[in-house]
Amino acid sequence: MAQVLPPGSIVVADWHQCKDSKEYFSKILHKKRRKNFGLLESPVMPPHALNIPNMHYETTGIETTVVYWPAKLRESGRVLFFRLQLWDCGENALRRFDHLLPSCKEQVDAVLFLFSFTDRTSFDDLSNQIAKWTGPSAGRVVKLVVGTKFDLFMHCDVAERDVKDFQETWSIPVLRMGGEVSDGLGDVAPLLNCLAENLWHHDCVAAGSASHHSQTETGTLL
């Protein structure tokens, strides 16, 4: 089974904090908030500010979100601008409508499995979620697990040992997100960097490249 790609092994993890990144992040920020891009929009267009809700709810159908994220390659120093089109589908909707999951799987490059550190049942259900993505085509998909509400220590229902055992068993990276929601880059940088890093590595391996300098369709070389 493939090993987990160490975070920061391909892209500079803290590049969003460096001065030379401002030129790129200014294209996706407005008044320190990430911009909201439509399906046909790009950072050069004047989109509206993205308002992230403080209260979370289960998606009733399929919701799509476009996220642009620049990442700097560690070895070459080149910058890639990723266009990530995220499809979110609620679990209840998947059970009610059989056509939703096939639609989400169509031409997909990556899948994010979510659980809450305050809900043991959601963690135990990860194996069932992953089982839905088995098969020859699913083997070519980048898989990441995101644990939410990691900062609610008093209500934590999932031990770190369990997370470590899961990661070793499934060879899937597990990312931790806090319960507080903000528009800062620091909150989303670990997740988006990890996603960009794994997508770039995945495409380089698929292309038979021995290094991570080749350009692929995942990112646009700047």
Q: DSSP secondary-structure letter at 65?
A: E
Structure tokens at 152: 């609610």
Domains and CATH numbers, the chain: 15-35+59-204 (3.40.50.300)
Helix, strand, coil in percent for the chain, rounding step 5? 30, 25, 45
Dump pLDDT digits (tens) for 73-105: 999 999 999 999 888 877 777 777 777 777 777
Question: Residue 212's pLDDT is what?
Answer: 45
Dump pLDDT digits (tens) for 191-215: 999 999 999 998 888 887 444 444 4
Tell me if 167 sits within 8 A of 174, measured CB to CB. yes
Tell me if 10 sits within 8 A of 201, measured CB to CB. yes
> pLDDT grade, residue 50 (50/70/90)?
very low
**How many residues comprise the chain?**
222
What phi and psi values does residue 68 have, to the nearest 5 degrees?
-105, 135
Distance, in Å, from the CA atom of 129 to the CA atom of 101, rounded to the nearest integer, reads: 11
Q: What is the mean pLDDT of residues 4-20?
A: 90
